[in-house]
A and B are shown apart, each in its own frame.
Chain A
């Protein structure tokens, strides 16, 4: 995808094939000869981890779909059938349910890293926006997958989230009825969520291909935020990046396996082991942990429509940060003020996550509002102004200079 390939197969058949479809050359130039900055830290292994998690989710999901029944009267029972009667069904289901959490954990690390090191800046704007699109698709997919279990929390999460669209003036109620396929969350809703839950991961995979393509055109950013200038600044993808990614993927799998085998229900909600019952509303309805910050933003605003707008704006604003951030320096390593504001923003995100799980009352509402204001101020006020007022530290002349010291 970048540069011309020097791939010269020895095998006669591969030579014959390469003349007709240069697939080997594409793979070789993308994943073998592709130059990666030599100074990448372990935060850069999360792209590979995310690709791995997408693969795990698709494979376990396709097999789960073979045993699942998308019908309101049978969905919960079929999930329990997977847990009880399908050989290693419990393993597939726990891998898939906890896999979603691991996928989101990895994507959050990946996004925080991108913001910290300025990976969204010119010439990587399209790469970044493709990432925001993948994240949106992930959120939709994860939500619909959670509904498929058809437990109490599945049903009521579906009700709450689809009801958000009723805030749209005039046509809101009509849109909600259209989304449900009826006048309440019911069998048509479950069926279409199932269909879309199966479709969207392949859409994600398609956008991931574009994301990687854009990455290989622009090249990877790195902790210094300056572009590689010579061969001394880079190492070949294989073996260097492959072995490093592989090592950290193994570390990540230990965490994943810990959840799957030892605490598989830790991240879930006990209520979702109660079959969905439209007649009984749980005392409180909470989404999965990875949506909690956005849930807190939604609830921090007293007006429903404004809350929904803030919820969507909090995600969409990410697509605009290549232009909201006016600083020419990419990496927070050389931006002393940005670094502080960034960590405050991380605190706000995590704080909103905590508040999303709390009853919206008293001090929790006030804190949610403070964090919500800061969340948006970070992008809309701090990012544009810092580029003008911040005094950045001097940048090294090259990546190898930053690694080897000025004398090299």
Chain B
């Protein structure tokens, strides 16, 4: 899937801060901004949502998309989908992993926790041949590799509001963005029209429909729910330590703000005599004046 990209970027609010994002042509719709459990300074992944997203990945996406940087053990990592080690092991054992036996002959064995998810195709050429000439991208970093143009001045505000969920917003919108091409739009053979895809012509046919995946936890089996759940799962797959990062970040911030405060008053005390030039000029003792 070759995304046509152009760039946006930049700005500055006193300082130059650039951010370059794949752009969308003028007629491309902006993905709606959604609420995510993992947004903001205290964001955390919702384990139930990640488990639902994982179910969608297994039952739908994994037939074409690899996710090769994800290991089965990751399913039981803290801050993730919250599977137990035994559950993750059970998932692993359902996969067949290519290996060598003791005699060095190719063999297949059940997956183990340490294995990564095996890809659906033997290699990129096989993936291309089976998908009309376009290899479906690996999903390990997909949620961070996809975004949309925010434009000036919004991306400046994003630095302050910590809006970092353009990737999941875009993926959610894309999954729901299939529609009939408008009159006069020449859709190449084998292409599909998507409102949100740059250039609108996407090789991937609509992958999901309502009711396709059965949820065990009573969550609605709608396109809205499906597309958000898989986008959240992909975000976790791309940034598995997000929860730890934000938790430590808060502690670091508290530390730095206290440190800054202490440094400020220390500085003020030390510079007291130097910064009281008028008292010195009038021959008063600066040590006797208050800060």
Bin the interface of chain B by size.
35 or more
Residues 1-28 of B, flagged 1 when their CB comes within 8 A of A and 0 if not, give: 0101111111110011111111000000
Cβ of A18 within 8 Å of any chain B Cβ, yes or no, is: no
Does the CB pair B277–A266 fall under 8 Å?
no
Does the CB pair A357–B7 fall under 8 Å?
yes
Does the CB pair B17–A261 fall under 8 Å?
no
Please indicate the chain B residues that have their CB under 8 angstroms from the CB of A283 in the complex.
4-6, 22
Q: Which residue on chain B has the smallest CB distance to residue A246?
A: B263
Does the CB pair A274–B137 fall under 8 Å?
yes
Does the CB pair A254–B256 fall under 8 Å?
yes
Does the CB pair B11–A262 fall under 8 Å?
no
Q: How far is the CB of B39 from chain A (nearest CB, A)?
A: 10
A235 to B144, CA, bound (A): 50
Does the CB pair B256–A408 fall under 8 Å?
no
Does the CB pair B263–A257 fall under 8 Å?
no
Cβ of B266 within 8 Å of any chain A Cβ, yes or no, is: yes
Please indicate the chain A residues that have their CB under 8 angstroms from the CB of B244 in the complex.
90
Stretch in B52-60, B176-184, B247-255 with 4+ CB within 8 Å of A = B247-255
Give the contacting residue for B140; candidates A80, A258, A271; CB below 8 A. Answer: A80
Cβ of B159 within 8 Å of any chain A Cβ, yes or no, is: yes
Q: How far is the CB of B152 from chain A (nearest CB, A)?
A: 8
Give the contacting residue for B12; candidates A83, A257, A263, A353; CB below 8 A. Answer: A353
Please indicate the chain B residues that have their CB under 8 angstroms from the CB of A251 in the complex.
260
Does the CB pair A260–B249 fall under 8 Å?
yes
Does the CB pair B263–A247 fall under 8 Å?
yes
Given contacts A240-B271, A354-B11, whether A257 and B253 have CB atoms under 8 Å apart is yes
Does the CB pair A254–B12 fall under 8 Å?
no
The B71-122 residues at the A interface (CB cut-off 8 A) are 74
Give the contacting residue for B20; candidates A77, A109, A269, A404; CB below 8 A. Answer: A269
Does the CB pair B164–A266 fall under 8 Å?
yes
Give the contacting residue for B16; candidates A247, A280, A289; CB below 8 A. Answer: A289
Does the CB pair B7–A286 fall under 8 Å?
yes
Give the residue among B11, B244, B267 with the most A Cβ atoms within 10 A.
B267
Q: How far is the CB of B96 from chain A (nearest CB, A)?
A: 22
Given contacts A83-B241, A90-B245, A261-B246, whether A270 and B18 have CB atoms under 8 Å apart is no
Does the CB pair A105–B15 fall under 8 Å?
yes
How many positions in chain A have a CB within 8 Å of any CB in the partner chain?
A: 61
A239 to B271, CA, bound (A): 9
Does the CB pair A270–B167 fall under 8 Å?
yes
Cβ of B288 within 8 Å of any chain A Cβ, yes or no, is: no
Give the contacting residue for A263; candidates B162, B250, B278; CB below 8 A. Answer: B162
Cβ of A108 within 8 Å of any chain B Cβ, yes or no, is: yes
Given contacts A262-B246, A354-B11, whether A243 and B164 have CB atoms under 8 Å apart is no
Please indicate the chain A residues that have their CB under 8 angstroms from the CB of B245 in the complex.
90-91, 94, 261, 264
Q: How far is the CB of A186 from chain B (nearest CB, A)?
A: 18
Please indicate the chain B residues that have their CB under 8 angstroms from the CB of A278 in the complex.
none
Cβ of B264 within 8 Å of any chain A Cβ, yes or no, is: yes
Given contacts A247-B264, A353-B16, whether A271 and B256 have CB atoms under 8 Å apart is no
Q: How far is the CB of B26 from chain A (nearest CB, A)?
A: 12
Does the CB pair A253–B256 fall under 8 Å?
yes
Cβ of A273 within 8 Å of any chain B Cβ, yes or no, is: yes
Give the contacting residue for B263; candidates A94, A250, A400, A408; CB below 8 A. Answer: A250
Does the CB pair B257–A270 fall under 8 Å?
no
Residues 66-90 of A, flagged 1 when their CB comes within 8 A of B and 0 if not, give: 0000000000010010011000001
Residues 260-277 of B, flagged 1 when their CB comes within 8 A of A and 0 if not, give: 100110110011001001
A270 to B88, CA, bound (A): 30
Give the contacting residue for A254; candidates B9, B17, B257, B266; CB below 8 A. Answer: B257
Residues 256-299 of A, flagged 1 when their CB comes within 8 A of B and 0 if not, give: 01101111111111110111000010111010111010000000
Given contacts A261-B253, A357-B18, whether A292 and B10 have CB atoms under 8 Å apart is yes
Q: Which residue on chain A has the smallest CB distance to residue B266?
A: A243
The A11-35 residues at the B interface (CB cut-off 8 A) are none
Does the CB pair A90–B263 fall under 8 Å?
no
Residues 105-120 of A, flagged 1 when their CB comes within 8 A of B and 0 if not, give: 1001100000000000
Does the CB pair B145–A271 fall under 8 Å?
yes
Cβ of B223 within 8 Å of any chain A Cβ, yes or no, is: no
A267 to B17, CA, bound (A): 7
Cβ of B69 within 8 Å of any chain A Cβ, yes or no, is: yes
Q: Which residue on chain B has the smallest CB distance to residue A257?
A: B252
Q: How far is the CB of B170 from chain A (nearest CB, A)?
A: 9
Please indicate the chain B residues that have their CB under 8 angstroms from the CB of A270 in the complex.
20-22, 144-147, 167
Q: How far is the CB of B146 from chain A (nearest CB, A)?
A: 6
Does the CB pair A91–B271 fall under 8 Å?
no
Please indicate the chain A residues that have their CB under 8 angstroms from the CB of B10 in the complex.
289, 292, 353-354, 356-357
Give the residue among B167, B264, B270, B274 with the most A Cβ atoms within 10 A.
B270
Does the CB pair A267–B18 fall under 8 Å?
yes
Please indicate the chain B residues that have their CB under 8 angstroms from the CB of A83 in the complex.
241
Q: How far is the CB of B78 from chain A (nearest CB, A)?
A: 13
Cβ of A405 within 8 Å of any chain B Cβ, yes or no, is: yes
Give the contacting residue for B271; candidates A108, A244, A253, A258; CB below 8 A. Answer: A244
A263 to B156, CA, bound (A): 12
Give the contacting residue for A244; candidates B7, B252, B267; CB below 8 A. Answer: B267
Give the residue among B10, B22, B240 with the most A Cβ atoms within 10 A.
B10
A235 to B253, CA, bound (A): 32
Q: How far is the CB of B271 from chain A (nearest CB, A)?
A: 6
Does the CB pair A243–B263 fall under 8 Å?
yes
Give the contacting residue for A274; candidates B6, B141, B260, B264; CB below 8 A. Answer: B141
Given A90-B244, A266-B17, 6 more A-B residue pairs with CB atoms under 8 Å apart are: A105-B16, A235-B274, A240-B270, A283-B6, A288-B18, A289-B17
8 tightest A-B CB contacts, nearest first? A261-B249, A289-B18, A357-B9, A273-B145, A247-B263, A250-B260, A273-B141, A283-B5
User: Chain A residues in contact with chain B, CB under 8 A?
Assistant: 38, 77, 80, 83-84, 90-91, 94, 105, 108-109, 235, 239-240, 243-244, 246-247, 250-251, 253-254, 257-258, 260-271, 273-275, 280, 282-284, 286, 288-290, 292, 350, 353-354, 356-359, 400, 403-405, 407-408
Would you mind naming 15 contact pairs between A and B with Cβ atoms under 8 Å apart?
Answer: A80-B69, A94-B245, A108-B15, A239-B270, A243-B267, A243-B271, A267-B17, A280-B2, A283-B5, A283-B22, A292-B18, A353-B12, A354-B10, A357-B10, A404-B278
